[in-house]
Amino acid sequence: MRILGIETSCDETAAAVVTAEGEILSNLVLSQLEEHRPYGGVVPEIAARSHLDHLDGLIARAMAEAGLGFEDLDGIAATAGPGLIGGVFVGVMTAKAIAAARKLPFLAINHLEGHALSARLTENLEFPYLLLLVSGGHCQLLAVEGVGAYRRLGTTVDDAAGEAFDKTAKLLGLGYPGGPAVERAAAAGETGHFELPRPMKGRDSLDFSFSGLKTAVRHAAAALDPPPDGASPAVRNLAAEFQAAVGDVLADRCLRALASFGADYGRPGPLVVAGGVAANHYLRARLTAVAAEAGAGLLAPPPWLCTDNAAMIAWAGVERLRLGLGDPLDFAPRPRWPLEQLRRPQPETAAAELGETNP
């Protein structure tokens, strides 16, 4: 089985071809970084136009690199939400057009499910597992029971972890995109020079909060003399303290979640981390230690599979298609689409629907 995956939900235009055996035949990611950089963040209208300009050419290149024609494919998977809706439309319309013209199954992929299943593309990972999903828009702990079967254990009550990295980078004059810039600065700094809070640490729930930490970074940055304008020693130390605070909070929440997961499912994990923030090497090391403390393993996709890409979307397509699932060509893209709204697949119904609605 070979699936073409398309990702256009934020500021990366991406196309990839993946097989059911987990072979990545091509995986292209075109970053729009330079187009958004002057604005210090993603501008939805610019993103949508750029996807429109580049997607067709990128798909042609992904197919050529895979050495395949459309006739060799078994399905087309595209991110259908959640995300910036203009961009999502570009990807979904393109996927539907290819599916209709080539009489192939169309798979409307939830971007978060793409992240959630990504570790199964590179690792030998069985259901159920405990997932820490940390991206630019989300910070959640989920029990992943199967494809389409997610139980949310905790979530952020305000900002996402990636958002906190991005805002911290802005406050410290480290530029855009924030996550990798903060990680670089932190690696050259040391902790112990600033006092920052560890929101939610020790609380009974499995929720997160990052807005208090962001405010504390803002106050600390405002008190810097001279003001932060790049990686001065004080900026590097503040970045290191911020990253350590995030690490402490994630470690505390994951340890608690591992205990709760163990009680519910009768096994200690494994703990899986996914989403852009999971590319952070310091946080991966912290989570490895936490998992070991709970007698579990940590499974993390390689960093290039953590940040947005189309291989994870194609893989989610593989996972769905081999369960007999597909989506109708009138599937409407969704700007908001929580994982818990995906239902556990009913293969018989799904196969029937696929036969009826896809050409």
Q: Tokens 């256009």, residue?
A: 8
Least gap, CB of 306 to ligand KG4 (angstroms): 7
- The structure tokens 């059911």 sit at 20
Q: Which is nearer to Zn ion, 308 or 319 (CB)?
A: 308
Which of Zn ion, ligand KG4, none has residue 128 at its interface (CB below 5 to 8 Å by kind)? none
180 binds, among ligand KG4, Zn ion, none (CB under 5 to 8 A by kind): ligand KG4
- Of residues 57, 117, 60, the one with CA closest to residue 107: 117
The least CB distance from residue 353 to ligand KG4, in Å, is 28
The residues that touch ligand KG4, with contacts defined as CB under 6 A, are: 10, 135-137, 162, 165-166, 177-180, 183, 275-277, 279-280, 307-308
**Shortest distance in whole angstroms from residue 274 CB to ligand KG4:** 8
178 binds, among ligand KG4, Zn ion, none (CB under 5 to 8 A by kind): ligand KG4
Q: Could you tell me the two tokens for 128?
A: 């159920």
131-190 residues in contact with Zn ion (CB under 5 A) are 135
Select from Zn ion, ligand KG4, none the partner in contact with residue 168, using the beta carbon and a kind-dependent cut-off of 5 to 8 Å: none
Q: List the alpha helices (DSSP H) in 18-123.
A: 33-36, 44-66, 85-102, 111-117, 119-122
Regarding 309 and contact with Zn ion (CB under 5 A), the answer is no
Is residue 20 helix, strand or coil? coil
Residue 37, phi then psi, degrees to nearest 5: -55, -45
Residue 277's binding partner out of Zn ion, ligand KG4, none, with CB under 5 to 8 Å set by partner kind? ligand KG4
Helix (H) or strand (E) segment spanning residue 236: helix 233-265
Q: Which strands sit side by side in the sheet containing 12-19, from one edge to the other? A: 24-31, 12-19, 2-7, 75-81, 106-110
308 lies in the site for Zn ion, by CB under 5 A: yes
Q: Which residues bind Zn ion (CB under 5 A)?
A: 135, 308
